[in-house]
Every structure is written in C-alpha cells, then in structure tokens.
Structure 1
Amino acid sequence: MKWKEVCPYNPKLNLRDAYIYDTTLRDGEQTPGVCFTKEQKLNIARKLDELGIKQIEAGFPAVSKKEREIVKCISNEGLNAKILALSRALKDDIDKALNCDVDGIITFIATSPLHLKYKLHKSIDEVEEMGMNAVEYAKDHGLFVAFSAEDATRTPIEDLIRIHKNAEEHGADRVHIADTVGAGTPQSIYYICSELSKNLKKAHIGVHCHNDFGFAVINSIYGLLGGAKAVSTTVNGIGERAGNASLEELVMALMVLYDVDMELNISVIKELSKMVEEYSNMPVPVNKPIVGDRVFYHESGIHVDAVLENPLTYEPFLPEKIGQKREIVLGKHSGCKAVESKLKEMGIEVSRDKLWEIVKKVKETREGGEYIDDKTFKKIVNELLINNRQ
C-alpha cells in the first residue's frame, strides 16, 4: 500500500528538479567539538554519494593545510556528486579552493545591518562590491558559483533582491538565502524566495537554514514552495548551535508527505546516520524523527494490534525502506496480541487463559521497574509454564 492511497489529500508539488547540497562535512563539522579525520570525511562523502546527493560541500579550504588536503582528496575520489568548497568573498580563499580541484564554491559575505556594523565594519555597498568581485573571479576560473548572503533573513528585502540580481548578472549559478541564526519563519522564507524568484532569470535559489527555533526543515520546505531549487542539509541535523536542516527529515518529508521523488537511494539513510553519529560523537536521540533507534518501536496494545495487521496504521512509512527496523516492545501497555506475537517468535503456543496470565505478569513486572527484554520475558514465560505443570 502506498502513502498516497492512505492519505489522498497530500499535495502534489512540482519540485522534481529540487536537489540537495549537503554540508555535513563543512557546516556539520563546525559543531563545537567535532573534527572529522580524513578517512571519516571520505567515508561520509562516499555514503552521501551512494545516497545520491547531487552536491557535497566538502569543507572550508582556508581553515588549514590539512583541510585543503582532505577536500582535494574528496574532489579526486571520482564520486558522482559535484564537490563544492566554502570560501569567503576573498581572492585568496577562492585560490585555495581552486587548488583543491573542486567543481565549485559557495562564496559568502554578510549583508544584515547587524553584521555590517558589528562584524565587518563596512557599508552594504562595500560588501556588495566584494561579493561581486568574488563571483566574477571564480567564474573566470571555470567554477560553479553559489553566492550566499550571510544572515539573509535579517537583511532588508530590497537589499537581498538587488544583491542577488547583481550576483546573477556577474555569473552566479545559484544564490543562497542563509538563515544564519534560524530567525526565519516559514512565511518569511517563502516570501523571500518568491520575491527573489520573480527577479532572477537563470540562477537557482538555495536555502540554508539553521535550527535555532526548530524550524530548519519546515523553513527549507517553504523555501522550495517559494521557488527555491536547492536545499542545504546535514546528516542528523548537526551543525553550529542547534544545527542545520536534517537531511533525513527533509528527504522523507518531501518523499512521503509531498510526493516529491528526489531519486535517492534512501535504503542507506540509517547507515549514514549511524556513521555520522559515531564519527561526530554526537548521540542521536532514540526518538529523533526518521533515524532514532526507537521511532518504529510499539508498546501500546491498541497500536500493536493494528500494526500487526497493517504497519501503516501507526507508521508514516515502512522502516525497512531506510534501513530501520520495527520492534514490538512489551510493557505495562501491552495487550494479548503483542505477547502472542512474541511467543510465536519463540515457537511457544499457550492456551488463552495462560496467555492472559503472561500478559498480566508482563504488566506487573514492568510497573515494578524492570524492563521487559527478551531474557526477562523468557523468564516470565518459563516460570508461569513451570508453575502450571506443577
């Protein structure tokens, strides 16, 4: 059974050319305390490529010599994905990226009044000129160029439109709305992207959303609704402060809820999540959407009864599709069908009366503070069956 057969009112969007540029290896690594090794970055890049991500932002070459070596190694790995690098709107940064053999760059400069006054100490005209010089220089060297207005959601809309039109005229292939501190709302992101799409002729619009208010994924979707084509993500939503738009949440929301097929190999999503969890040393909450270890676990008797008949009664999609698994957990909320299912796994048949005794004992044991794992369940069953024979 397909999702659209279960939920016939899900909207159909014309987003077939939408794509992801993943920044796990750059913005994800900027999570305080995270530092991937060369082999770890390569493994993540390979797995992102296996997933089918179109563009991978491999790093920030200006950071260090080691970073440049790693970015260059990823660029020469022969992946299907295009490899991008981050650079400030500086010639030296772009030269460092060029020496890494990348396919393109994301060059950025802040545009909000707050950043202009307290960080750059420059006027909007000065930073606009710096940005355009960077775009032009990179294009002259044959790179794919995305121009990113940092802190775009706190920049006056008239400035955003003018600067991004200017970037397009200087050859930018894509322009980014960077919601740098997650201050955008779905409505504001939609508005900015829709206004930009009215004013741009060829350049794609990309959205780069942070999760400070928990809006990163929905803001990214509203960016697409407003006319954006590209979305920035990180695996497990890692990144500075509260992180970035979660790759797995965005992909599955678009696929399941909006019927947008991005032609990705989603079977590797859980494996990719586990890899990044291990390398970043950032534990994924067990209830994290999509990839949490327990998001397809069921205990409540009402739920379990229905899931055993048809999993889609209490699951938005089948966990096997992304490498996840379903578990029936026994506890105080368990009913007969859950216990009966567990008994069948063990190859044990009992009478109806004995089944009720086991269910009662399971509830009592859990309420007594003991977790009902397989070992505990077997102990309960054996004790009751032995007592019944005596």
Structure 2
Amino acid sequence: MVKEIEILDTTLRDGEQTSGVSFAVREKLSMARLLLDELHVNRIEIASARVSEGEFESVRRIAQWAAARGYLDRVEVLGFVDNGVSLKWIADAGCRVVNLLAKGSRRHCELQLRKTPQQHFADIKTAIAQATEMGIAVNIYLEDWSNGMRFSPDYVYEMVDTLKREPIRRFMIPDTLGVLNPDDCYAFCRDMVERYPELHFDFHAHNDYDLAVANVAAAVKAGVQGIHTTVNGLGERAGNAPLSSVIAVLNDHLKVRNTIVEKSINHVSRIVETYTGIHIPANEPVVGENVFTQCAGIHADGDNKDNLYYNDLLPERFGRVREYALGKMSGKANIKKNLDTLGIDLDEEAMRKVTERIIELGDKKQAVTSEDLPYIIADILKQDVYDVKVHILNYNLSLSYGLRPVATVKIRINDRDYEETSSGDGQYDAFMRAIRKIYKEQLKRDFPMLVNYSVSIPPGGRTDAFVQTYITWEYRGETFKTRGLDADQTEAAIKATLKMLNKVENILNQQSSGEN
C-alpha cells in the first residue's frame, strides 16, 4: 500500500452524467476553483470532448483560470480514439491533458468497436503519437476493465503489454459497471500492480452494489496510486465513490496521506447540492443533515458522561457541529443539550413539562428544532425566555395571472411600526423582499442570508395536509434553522421567517451585551 494517495475528482465529467444534472459555465468554473483551491484535490476531470459548444466554453474558461494559477497540468478532459478530433477540441480549448478512453475488455473491443484487439491497440498508439506531437499529456482509461479481468484477462495483459512503453502517465482501471466486490477488486488491482510495478494505476469505482467506497479501500490496499471520486457520489446510474466517505476511510482506517482539506468537504458538498438540485440524503455519511445528530435520549446522556457515544468522525473535522434531535425519542438529556446551547436554564418541573410537550409533538410527526424551544417554553410555562421583539402586524399577498406577485407587509420591531411593498418571483419571495427593504433601507441593518429552504409534505395527496417548512439562515457568522408549520406553504415559510427575525434580535442583544 502506498503512503500517499492521489485524488482525481471527476464531478465535472462523470458527475455531470447523473440523470438530470447539467452545469452552467459559471458553475463549472466555480466548482473547479473549489476543488483545487479549497479542497486541494490533486487533479480534476472537467468534461468529455466534443459534447457541446457550452461544454467547450466551460473547458476554455477553466483552462484560462487554471493556467493563470499554475494548475493546467492538473486539469484533464476525457477524449476518444477518433483520428485526432478530440485532441484538437481539447487543444483548442486550452487544455493539455487527455484521459483517452480505450476498451479494457475483449467484448467491448470486438462487439462495440467491431475491431480486433490488434487493430484497436494500433489506433490507440496513433492517438498517443498525435497527442504527444500536439503537446498533450496522455492518461488512458481501460473502459470495462473489471469485466475484462473477469472474463478476458489475457486481453487486458496484451493491451497493457502493448502500451506500457508508450508515453502514458497513468493507466486508469475502472469498474465501469460497478460489478466488483472488495475481494475481487483487491485481487485484480494487486495483479496489475505486481505485474506492472513500473506503471501508475488509478482506480475508478461505480456504486451499483453500494460497494464503491469498500472497493476503493480494497484498491488502495492493493497498491494503486490514485483513486477517482465525485462530490456527493454523483455519477452514471448509482454514481461514483463519494469524496467525503472516501477521505474519511483513507484518514481513519487506512491511514494513507492525502491532500484533501477535511474542513472544506461539507461546504463544497452543499454548493454542489445547490448547483445540481439533487439533495444529499439526510443519512449520507459525513455530509448528511442527520449524521452528527443524536436522537435517543440515552445517547445524549452518555455524551454528558464523558462523550460515550462519540466516534472518530468528529463533526468539527468537517466544519460541522454535533446536534441533539428533539422529538418523541428525546429525553431530558437531549433537551438540556439544546437549552445549554441557547443559554436557557429550567428547573426540574419546567423541564418535565417541556419534555412531555416535545414528545407529544413527535407523536404527531411534527419536527422540533432548537429554535422552536423558546416558543414551546413560552406556550407551556406562560413566560418568555427572551422578549419577542418582532411582530407581524399585517400582510397582504397578491397573486394575479400574468403579473408578478406583490406583498405589502407591516411589522413591529422594538415597538416601532414599519411598512413596505415589493414584488417578487413568488409570494414568499415578494414577502422577503419587502422585509429586506425594511431592514436595509429603513433600519440600515444587514439582513440574514437564506442558506437552504426545504419543505416537508406528508404523502397521501391531501390538499389540506400540514406543511413543515425548514429554512436555514446565516447571520454574522452564526448558522441556524427555523421551522414553520401550516396548511399553507407560504404561511409556513412566513412563520419560520418570523422566528428568524426574533432570533436575529436575540443575537444582536447578546452581541451588544458582550460588547458592554
């Protein structure tokens, strides 16, 4: 096993082969910067040659930026054995590394290309010679290599024997159809490494059997020098090996050095989630919404007693924090953890009443966030934990066919009334624009940034079903979430926003008290 592994991220190429995903030019450029500058991956594969004019523009823009940063040798494009057409496309875009796609199994060679192995190998050599003449470095994909090793290993050996003296930097061995298990993956990768110790091998996993990360670990143990990942496991069919999980396994189980900045993983994952519109599963390791959230009361109790339910995946490593869920599984320990974070202290009787209410809400399938706690306490104990500084006095939402929605809002902040009207792209957008105008134009204050907006609607098709709207906000370095519940989705979002506005006032009061 090597002491340090090279990471190629192919989110911008294989990740874009996810059904329904297409990156705009500015998004590709943004992600290239994040991957190389913030995450510090070794290499990125950014596109397939000859796809479209838009793709050409993306590659050209990334190449310009990479050249200015000294990264151009770390930017790669998938190309084809096509009499130099792909190579010209890559050169014209300003790149100088091609990942040449060749056939790594006899079936693919003979049935798809309808050529003999010798004819295909000769074509590959010609493409390599053309690339070298154009000043383009060559890596080579052995497409369907895993099935080649299973059913025609003699073909694979003949191919590598024929090409091993060519100017190829890396032989990239993919499990194209995601058919390997860790035992076979280790055996096949070890075979290649021992048979050709002078060559550099990358392993490219697919996740059809949910074994991509395990297969990457097996390949690293077998001695490959590079592995391919995608952010959030994007990719063809079931996707590729997710970068977040791979890095956790490399660091914690295999102890193999790599260049990835762990603290940036969650940030980059969230941006990619926004660009793709594909939500990260809540239980996705490392980056999922719930993976650092303890639900059972016994877990929170154990954490109070010397962190008994911690493992090596500490959330702080990835720029996150541990949370304690509130619901029917909550015990006093969960609730106390949340109250401590909010700086709220309750006696035993008050704690009992709050616990009972939270369990009651959980039985009704209503989620509770830590930001809901002050309102629950105010309702049960008839006392405010902190003063409610913001009240919505009135609002009118106008929706007319062919016209932009308009919102007029009147709110009271610290005993003063403010009113504004604004249009927007939707009713809630119009409402938010009106509120934002009050804060920025009348109060001359900064306004929180909406980081994430999600809606939970029970299945079943009822038009009167309660909607839970969750909004994540960022304000002055603090990130928090608020929830609104109502049969009307816009009303639910407005309720969540009102909680946010009061949270902001509370933050300002705390900061003001700290300064004094």
> Does TM, normalized by the shorter one, top 0.5?
yes
Map of 2:477 onto structure 1: none
C-alpha change, 1:165 and 1:304, in structure 2 (3 Å) is farther
- 1:32 paired residue number: 19
The aligned counterpart of 1:8 is none
Task: List alignment gaps of at least 5 residues for structure 1.
Answer: 1-13
Q: Does 1:45 align with 2:37?
A: no
Q: Is the 8 A contact 2:326 2:370 kept in 1?
A: no
Query: Could you tell me how far 1:314 is from its partner in structure 2?
Result: 3.2
TM-score, scaled to structure 1 = 0.89
Residue of 176, 192, 199 corresponding to 1:203? 199
Aligned to 1:176: 172
Give the CA deviation at 1:169. Answer: 0.9
User: 1:308 Cα shift?
Assistant: 4.0
Among 89, 97, 102, the alignment partner of 2:81 is: 89
**Displacement, 1:263?**
2.6
Picking from 309, 326, 331, the partner of 2:322 is: 326
Q: In structure 1, how many angstroms separate the alpha carbons of the residues matched to 2:154 and 2:288?
A: 42
Whole-angstrom distance in 1 between the partners of 2:19 and 2:216: 23
| In structure 1, distance between residues paired with 2:136 and 2:197 | 20
* Residues 37-90 of structure 1: CA deviation (Å, up to 9, x unaligned): 111000000000121111111111221233222212212213454111110123
Asked whether the 8 Å contact 2:206–2:239 carries over to 1, the reply is yes
Q: Which amino acid aligns with 1:84?
A: E
Greater RCO (Cα-Cα under 8 Å, separation 6 or more): 1
Counterpart Cα distance in 2 of 1:310 and 1:238 = 38
Larger deviation, residues 117-126 vs 175-184? 117-126
| Superposition deviation, residue 201 in structure 1 | 4.2
User: For the residues of structure 2 that align with 1:141 and 1:199, how far apart are their CA atoms?
Assistant: 31
Task: Give the letter for the 1:134 counterpart.
Answer: A
Matched, 1:23 2:10: yes
Q: Is the 8 A contact 2:79 2:99 kept in 1?
A: yes
CA distance in 1, matches of 2:57, 2:160: 32
Q: Which residue of 1 aligns with 2:237?
A: 241
Q: Is the 8 A contact 1:51 1:265 kept in 2?
A: yes
Q: 2:59 aligns with which of 65, 71, 80?
A: 71
Question: For 2:41 and 2:13, how far apart are their aligned partners in 1?
Answer: 15
Q: CA deviation at 1:291?
A: 0.9
Q: Identity across aligned pairs (percent)?
A: 29
Q: 1:135 corresponds to which residue? A: 128
Structure 1 residue aligned with 2:48, among 35, 55, 60? Answer: 60
Q: Map of 1:217-256 to 2, 5 A cutoff?
A: 217-256=213-252
What one-letter code is carried by the residue in structure 2 that aligns with 1:252?
A: A
2:177 alignment partner AA: V
Q: Could you say which residue in structure 2 is the equivalent of 1:341?
A: 337
Which residue of the partner structure matches residue 10 of structure 1? none
More strand by share: 2
Mapped partners of 1:136, 1:189: distance in 2: 32
Higher helix share: 1
Q: Which segment is superposed worse, 31-40 or 135-144?
A: 135-144
Matches within 5 A, 1:291-306: 291-306=287-302
Q: 1:374 to 1:196 in 2, by over 3 A?
A: closer
Q: Output the CA distance in 1 between the equivalents of 2:143 and 2:284.
A: 29
1:87 is paired with a residue of what secondary structure?
strand
Aligned length: 374
Letter in 2 for 1:150: E
Corresponding position: 1:365 with 2:361: yes
Contact 1:303 / 1:314 at 8 angstroms: preserved in 2? no
* AA partner of residue 94 (structure 2): D
Deviation at 1:269, TM superposition (A): 0.8
Question: What's the secondary structure of 2:122's corresponding residue?
Answer: helix
Q: Tell me the distance in 2 between the aligned counterparts of 1:102 and 1:158.
A: 34
Residue aligning to 2:264: 268
Q: CA RMSD, aligned part only?
A: 2.1
Which residue identity is paired with 1:215? L
User: Which residue number in structure 1 is paired with residue 145 of structure 2?
Assistant: 152
Give distance in 1, aligned partners of 2:254 and 2:308: 17
Q: 1:311 to 1:70 in 2, by over 3 A?
A: farther
The answer on whether the counterparts of 1:238 and 1:246 sit within 8 Å (CA) in structure 2 is yes
Residue type of the alignment partner of 1:247? L
Deviation at 1:254, TM superposition (A): 0.6
Cα deviation, residue 140, structure 1:
3.8
What is the match of residue 5 of structure 1? none
- Secondary structure in structure 2 of the residue aligned to 1:24: coil
The structure-2 alpha-carbon separation of the partners of 1:251 and 1:131, relative to structure 1 and needing over 3 Å to count, comes to same
Q: Which has the larger radius of gyration?
A: 2
CA 1:80/1:338 → structure 2, altered by over 3 Å: closer, same or farther? farther
| TM-score normalised according to structure 2 size | 0.68
Q: Call closer, same or farther: CA 1:32–1:79 in 2, change over 3 Å.
A: farther
Q: What amino acid maps onto 1:40 in structure 2?
A: E
Instruction: Give the whole-Å Cα distance in 2 for the aligned partners of 1:147 and 1:336.
Output: 58
CA deviation after TM superposition for structure 1 residue 376, in Å: 4.5
State the AA in 2 paired with 1:37: A
Q: Which moved more, 1:276-285 or 1:362-371?
A: 362-371
